[in-house]
Chains A and B, each alone.
Chain A
């Protein structure tokens, strides 16, 4: 298996007023292509800092980070923007869709910054929305969609550029149990199709949909185990 994420002795330090906070104290982690990893830990454990670094939203203070074989830790802001655009698909807890913008336009957004033609953008965005079961909701705006549907739009947006990793930050945090299972079903299906998924969560039963759980505490990895009894989402019910 080819590693898509290689992290060596990663440290992240924040300065808040006079205080220096060590959010990550020397973390090493490798994630292979096709893996489904849940990152868990209580708040303040460093899992969010880890997610920001993996998502190229933030730069580590020290350490090595290779994404898809490419060194990232020294990349410039604009280079990071390109990496985020090409290699990472984000799914957020609160969906983070642009308001007053239709589903298909939201999904087109990453392609807009990638420089695809208008026709190609529209085609790929529609394809991505169909793949998450929203063929009937292309021109609805976020406020016309349910929470589950909004999260599907944001998954479609994450997928549209065919990224190397799918990075989901508490993707079910704002959803009910049933919808959560549907969303996790989509992630599992995408993972079965070969997509590497990294899930950040604090809910143990959501983490059990993953293949592997990495636990953080006080800025360090305390365990990295394969899930013994993996939960499999019931065949996702496509509600459109």
Chain B
């Protein structure tokens, strides 16, 4: 019997038991759809995390204060106030460093007329735009001159604009606002960047760091120093240079530990990717288990089918079907069953992934590899779980099969 005949016969028998076949396929459908959707979510998440991290800045190194220890117990990052403006200036001396943007952070109440809004306040320097990959959409950013002279100027994010100047038709550049009761002039609006991770990059007020330290936050220490390396090739060198500069500046003896921490963008990226790839592996593992369960369903129904059709097998053998004819017929039926399930599963999986990215906040990315993989796996499931029932059918003796009631 030719392959095409076998496929035709198997289609007929699948149709003859429509509901049963669909229920059997459901196991495979769910398994494959789960694999496709999970992988799509996993890949989508990791690529969006990667782009968010890349969006933080170009060739970014983050210098944060070290952790204080009290009786050998670490108090966590930022528990020491070890970084100063002088440190930032010293770091900027290195050739491997292209830009330095120290920052202090706080929250602030911003008032314009009768409107008020609470946002995060960041004091920084003119290098901010370059170091943090930001752009000004309207107006301008503050200059180094304004930073050194402690000007009361502010650049705001779009979120602040829409909340504070709700229905205003006036040009907001040049408007005077009160930030924590101190008057500031708005000189620019940042281009919208969206959110990265937990922080909304559009919901912030930027002012010169000197102004922030003297009039709003107080104190002489800076929270974090953002540094951009001259190029991606000198990231490691920049990291070493910063370390040496800071150790010298802080008078640390060789055996003493660093009282600061340098994190590079690629560190964050690789951590995030590790997390998302292990998530993907976990989800795929669960999906693979459901594929196996689906395969057992196929095997179960094939065994039922062989028993039910013992007589048919007897007839076919009596009129000349060889063992391998019967074996092939049932094997192809099992493979057809699981392949149809696989194809439907791919369709549902892709559909689910598209729906998730359309409705939810998760981004998904559909690639060909998991689809091919699912296609092959489901046919393999058909073969593996079809062999035993098919062998059972092929080994029936024609007289026994014919006499079977």
Interface residues in A, total, Cβ within 8 A = 26
Residues of A contacting B318 in the complex (Cβ-Cβ under 8 angstroms):
55, 57, 84, 90, 96
Residues of B contacting A96 in the complex (Cβ-Cβ under 8 angstroms):
311, 314-315, 318, 402
* CB < 8 Å neighbour of B399 from A58, A77, A82, A86: A58
Whether the pair A114, B320 counts as a contact (CB closer than 8 A) is: yes
Residues of A contacting B311 in the complex (Cβ-Cβ under 8 angstroms):
96
Interface residues of A in 83-138 (CB under 8 A from B): 84-86, 90, 92, 96-101, 109-110, 112-114
Residue of A nearest to B320 (CB): A85
A29 is an interface residue with CB less than 8 A from chain B: no
Residues of B contacting A97 in the complex (Cβ-Cβ under 8 angstroms):
315
Mark each residue of chain A from 122 to 163: 1 if its CB lies under 8 Å from any CB of chain B, else 0.
000000000000000000000000000000000001000100
Mark each residue of chain B from 289 to 325: 1 if its CB lies under 8 Å from any CB of chain A, else 0.
0000000000000000000000110111111111111
B1 is an interface residue with CB less than 8 A from chain A: yes
Whether the pair B320, A100 counts as a contact (CB closer than 8 A) is: no
Residue of A nearest to B16 (CB): A100
Residues of A contacting B324 in the complex (Cβ-Cβ under 8 angstroms):
78
* CB < 8 Å neighbour of A157 from B1, B12, B312, B319: B319
A81 is an interface residue with CB less than 8 A from chain B: yes
B398 is an interface residue with CB less than 8 A from chain A: yes
Whether the pair B399, A81 counts as a contact (CB closer than 8 A) is: no
Residues of B contacting A191 in the complex (Cβ-Cβ under 8 angstroms):
none
* CB < 8 Å neighbour of B321 from A81, A92, A157: A81
Whether the pair B319, A84 counts as a contact (CB closer than 8 A) is: yes
Whether the pair B402, A86 counts as a contact (CB closer than 8 A) is: no
Residues of B contacting A28 in the complex (Cβ-Cβ under 8 angstroms):
none
Interface of chain B, main secondary structure: helix
Whether the pair A90, B319 counts as a contact (CB closer than 8 A) is: yes
A62 is an interface residue with CB less than 8 A from chain B: no
Interface residues of B in 40-78 (CB under 8 A from A): none
Residues of B contacting A45 in the complex (Cβ-Cβ under 8 angstroms):
none
B5 is an interface residue with CB less than 8 A from chain A: yes
Known: A90-B318, A98-B315. Contact between A78 and B1, CB under 8 A?
A: no
A52 is an interface residue with CB less than 8 A from chain B: yes
Q: How far is the CA of A159 from the CA of B397 in the complex (A)?
A: 23
Interface residues of B in 311-355 (CB under 8 A from A): 311-312, 314-325
Interface residues of B in 351-405 (CB under 8 A from A): 397-399, 402
Taking the closest CB of chain B, its distance from the CB of A190, in whole angstroms, is: 18
Most buried by A among B314, B320, B323, B398: B320
Sorting the interface of chain B by its residue count into under 10, 10 to 19, 20 to 34 or 35 or more gives 20 to 34
Residues of A contacting B399 in the complex (Cβ-Cβ under 8 angstroms):
52, 57-58
Whether the pair A77, B320 counts as a contact (CB closer than 8 A) is: no
Whether the pair B320, A81 counts as a contact (CB closer than 8 A) is: yes
* CB < 8 Å neighbour of B320 from A58, A84, A98: A84
Known: A57-B402, A100-B16. Contact between A85 and B319, CB under 8 A?
A: yes
Whether the pair B5, A112 counts as a contact (CB closer than 8 A) is: yes
Residues of B contacting A112 in the complex (Cβ-Cβ under 8 angstroms):
1, 5
Residues of B contacting A90 in the complex (Cβ-Cβ under 8 angstroms):
318-319
Residues of B contacting A77 in the complex (Cβ-Cβ under 8 angstroms):
322-323
Q: How far is the CA of A90 from the CA of B319 in the complex (A)?
A: 7
Whether the pair B320, A86 counts as a contact (CB closer than 8 A) is: yes
Interface residues of A in 39-81 (CB under 8 A from B): 52, 55, 57-58, 77-78, 81
Whether the pair B322, A57 counts as a contact (CB closer than 8 A) is: no
Residue of B nearest to A49 (CB): B399
Whether the pair A113, B16 counts as a contact (CB closer than 8 A) is: no
Residues of A contacting B398 in the complex (Cβ-Cβ under 8 angstroms):
57
Whether the pair A98, B319 counts as a contact (CB closer than 8 A) is: no
Residues of A contacting B316 in the complex (Cβ-Cβ under 8 angstroms):
109, 113
Taking the closest CB of chain B, its distance from the CB of A155, in whole angstroms, is: 13
Whether the pair B321, A98 counts as a contact (CB closer than 8 A) is: no
Taking the closest CB of chain B, its distance from the CB of A91, in whole angstroms, is: 11
Residues of B contacting A161 in the complex (Cβ-Cβ under 8 angstroms):
320
Known: A96-B311, A98-B312, A100-B16. Contact between A113 and B402, CB under 8 A?
A: no
Residue of A nearest to B314 (CB): A96
Q: How far is the CA of A114 from the CA of B325 in the complex (A)?
A: 11
Taking the closest CB of chain B, its distance from the CB of A47, in whole angstroms, is: 14
Can you offer 27 A-B residue contacts whose CB atoms are under 8 A? A52-B399, A57-B318, A57-B399, A78-B322, A78-B323, A81-B320, A81-B323, A82-B322, A84-B317, A85-B319, A86-B320, A92-B402, A96-B311, A96-B314, A97-B315, A98-B315, A109-B315, A109-B316, A110-B319, A110-B320, A112-B1, A112-B5, A113-B320, A113-B321, A113-B322, A113-B325, A161-B320
Q: Which residues of A contact B (CB under 8 A)?
A: 52, 55, 57-58, 77-78, 81-82, 84-86, 90, 92, 96-101, 109-110, 112-114, 157, 161
Q: A78-B324, A157-B319, A161-B320 given; name 12 further pairs at CB < 8 Å.
A: A52-B399, A55-B318, A57-B399, A77-B323, A82-B320, A84-B317, A84-B318, A85-B319, A92-B402, A100-B12, A101-B12, A109-B316
Q: Which residues of B contact A (CB under 8 A)?
A: 1, 5, 12, 16, 311-312, 314-325, 397-399, 402
